[in-house]
Amino acid sequence: MNSRFYITTPIYYPNGEPHLGHIYTTVAADTVARYHRLNGEETFFLTGTDEHGIKMVKTAAEKKVTPRQLADEMAGSFESLWKELQITNDDFIRTPQDRHRETVQHVVNRLLENGDIYLGSYTGWYDEGQEEFVTETTAKENQYKSEINGKPLTRYEESTYFFRLKKYVPRILQHIADHPEFIQPDSRRNEVVSKLKMDVEDLSISRASLEWGIKMPNDPKHVVYVWIDALTNYITVLGYGRAGQDELMKKFWPADVHLIGKEIMWFHTVYWPAMLMSLGLELPRTVFAHGWWTADGKKMSKTLGNFIGLEQIRTLRAQYSFDAVRYYLMRAAVFGSDLDWSDREFAAAYDDLSKKLGNCLNRVTNMTARYCDNTVPAAGDLEEIDRNVLAIAEALPAKLADAYARLALQDCATLPIEVVRAVDGYIEATQPFKLKDPSQHARRNTVLNIMARGMHAALVGLLPIMPEKAAAGLKQLGVDAGGKTLSDLFKNVPDAGHKLGEGSALFPRVETAK
Ligand code: MSP
Residues 70-95 pLDDT 10s:
999 999 999 999 999 999 999 999 99
- Residue 514: per-residue pLDDT: 46
Whether residue 87 is contained in a domain is answered as no
Give distance in angstroms: CA of 9 to centre of ligand 1: 9
Give the model confidence (pLDDT) of 125-135 as tens digits.
999 999 999 98
Q: Which domain holds residue 382?
A: 342-491
- Residue 294: per-residue pLDDT: 87
- Ligand 1 atom closest to Cα of 300? 26
> SS3 of 127, please?
strand
How far, in Å, CA of 413 to CA of 418, rounded?
Answer: 9
pLDDT, mean of residues 188-204: 93
Amino acid at residue number 272: W
Whether residue 280 is contained in a domain is answered as no
The residue whose CB lies within 8 Å of the most ligand 1 atoms, and thus the one to mutate among 7, 8, 50, 188, is 50
Give distance in angstroms: CA of 148 to centre of ligand 1: 12
How far, in Å, CA of 354 to CA of 507, rounded?
Answer: 5
Instruction: Look at ligand 1, atom 9, and give the residue with the nearest C-alpha.
Output: 12
Are β-strands 286-290 and 257-261 bridged in parallel, bridged antiparallel, or unpaired?
parallel
- Residue 149: per-residue pLDDT: 84
Give distance in angstroms: CA of 30 to centre of ligand 1: 16
- Residue 306: per-residue pLDDT: 76
Side-by-side strand order, sheet with 206-207: 206-207, 219-224, 215-216
pLDDT, mean of residues 496-502: 96
pLDDT of 361 strictly over 90? yes
pLDDT, mean of residues 89-108: 98
Q: How far is CA 378 from CA 362, 388, 453, 457, in A?
A: 20, 18, 11, 18
The CA angle 115-116-122, to the nearest 5 degrees, is 120
User: Residue 286: beta bridge partners?
Assistant: 257
| Segment holding 119, helix H or strand E | strand 117-127
Instruction: Look at ligand 1, atom 21, and give the residue with the nearest C-alpha.
Output: 21
Evaluate whether 432 touches 447 at the Cβ level (below 8 Å).
yes
Evaluate whether 290 touches 336 at the Cβ level (below 8 Å).
yes
Q: How confident is the model at residue 307 (pLDDT cuts 50, 70, 90)?
A: confident
- Ligand 1 atom closest to Cα of 264? 17
Give distance in angstroms: CA of 293 to centre of ligand 1: 11
How many CB atoms are located within 10 Å of the residue 314 CB? Answer: 15
How far, in Å, CA of 179 to CA of 171, rounded?
Answer: 12
Rg of the chain on CA atoms, in Å = 26
Evaluate whether 52 touches 211 at the Cβ level (below 8 Å).
no
Query: How does the average pLDDT of the chain come out, rounded?
Result: 95
- Residue 297: per-residue pLDDT: 75
Q: What is the CATH number of the domain that holds 446?
A: 1.10.730.10
Give distance in angstroms: CA of 227 to centre of ligand 1: 13
pLDDT, mean of residues 227-244: 97
Evaluate whether 132 touches 226 at the Cβ level (below 8 Å).
no
pLDDT, mean of residues 487-510: 96
Number of domains, the chain: 1
pLDDT of 175 strictly over 60? yes
pLDDT, mean of residues 187-193: 96
- Ligand 1 atom closest to Cα of 294? 26
Q: How confident is the model at residue 394 (pLDDT cuts 50, 70, 90)?
A: very high
pLDDT, mean of residues 456-481: 98
Q: In this structure, what are the phi and psi dihedrals at residue 8, rounded to the nearest 5 degrees?
A: -130, 155
The residue whose CB lies within 8 Å of the most ligand 1 atoms, and thus the one to mutate among 23, 25, 54, is 25
Whether residue 363 is contained in a domain is answered as yes
Whether residue 50 is contained in a domain is answered as no
Amino acid at residue number 70: L
Instruction: Look at ligand 1, atom 17, and give the residue with the nearest C-alpha.
Output: 261
Instruction: Look at ligand 1, atom 6, and give the residue with the nearest C-alpha.
Output: 231
Whether residue 418 is contained in a domain is answered as yes
- Residue 421: per-residue pLDDT: 98
Instruction: Look at ligand 1, atom 24, and give the residue with the nearest C-alpha.
Output: 21
pLDDT, mean of residues 50-69: 95
Whether residue 452 is contained in a domain is answered as yes
Whether residue 420 is contained in a domain is answered as yes
Evaluate whether 48 touches 76 at the Cβ level (below 8 Å).
no
Give the model confidence (pLDDT) of 432-444 as tens digits.
999 999 999 999 9
| Segment holding 360, helix H or strand E | helix 359-372
Instruction: Look at ligand 1, atom 22, and give the residue with the nearest C-alpha.
Output: 21
Angle between helices 384-405 and 20-38 (to 10 degrees): 110
Give distance in angstroms: CA of 130 to centre of ligand 1: 10
pLDDT, mean of residues 143-161: 92
Instruction: Look at ligand 1, atom 2, and give the residue with the nearest C-alpha.
Output: 12
Q: How confident is the model at residue 513 (pLDDT cuts 50, 70, 90)?
A: very low
Provide residues with CB under 6 Å of ligand 1: 10-13, 21-22, 24-25, 50, 230-231, 233, 260-261, 264, 292-293
Whether residue 26 is contained in a domain is answered as no
Give distance in angstroms: CA of 51 to centre of ligand 1: 13
Give distance in angstroms: CA of 264 to centre of ligand 1: 8
How far, in Å, CA of 448 to CA of 502, rounded?
Answer: 16
pLDDT, mean of residues 462-473: 98
Report the candidate in 70, 95, 210, 222 with the shortest Cα–Cα distance to residue 154.
210
- Residue 366: per-residue pLDDT: 98
pLDDT of 31 strictly over 80? yes
**Ramachandran class of 239: left when φ > 0, alpha when ψ lies in -120 to 50, beta otherwise:** left
